[in-house]
């Protein structure tokens, strides 16, 4: 198994990694490996299932009935 050395790690980052490792019951090395694996792991997305969920949520969301004058007034007034 290859080894890797990290250089230029700031004291703040090292402290944060140590704290995260402690909270996750890992060594600092284990914490770094877990984060690296998570960042490079490919997540396969099932497009059809995702589109179905989006369509279902859209169907449940209330859509306000606004005419162009309402839209213009809302745009000019800014967001709440």
C-alpha distances in angstroms, 71 versus 8, 17, 63, 80? 52, 48, 13, 14
pLDDT at 80 over 70: no
Q: Total structural domains in the chain?
A: 1
pLDDT tens for 34-72 read 999 988 887 788 899 999 999 998 888 887 788 899 888
Average pLDDT, the chain: 89
CB 34, CB 26: distance < 8 Å: yes
Q: Token pair for residue 64?
A: 């306000």
Q: How confident is the model at residue 23 (pLDDT cuts 50, 70, 90)?
A: very high
Residues 6+ apart with CB under 8 A from 21: 27, 28, 30, 31
Domain housing 33: 9-62
Query: Does any domain span residue 78?
Result: no
């Amino acid at each position: 198994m290859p080894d890797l050395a990290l250089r230029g790690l700031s004291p703040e980052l090292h402290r944060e990694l140590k704290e995260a490792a402690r909270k996750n019951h890992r060594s600092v090395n284990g914490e770094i490996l877990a984060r690296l694996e998570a960042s490079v792991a490919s997540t396969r997305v099932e497009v059809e299932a995702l589109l179905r969920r989006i369509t279902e949520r859209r169907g449940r969301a209330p859509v306000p009935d606004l005419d162009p004058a309402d839209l213009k007034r809302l745009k000019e007034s800014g967001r709440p």
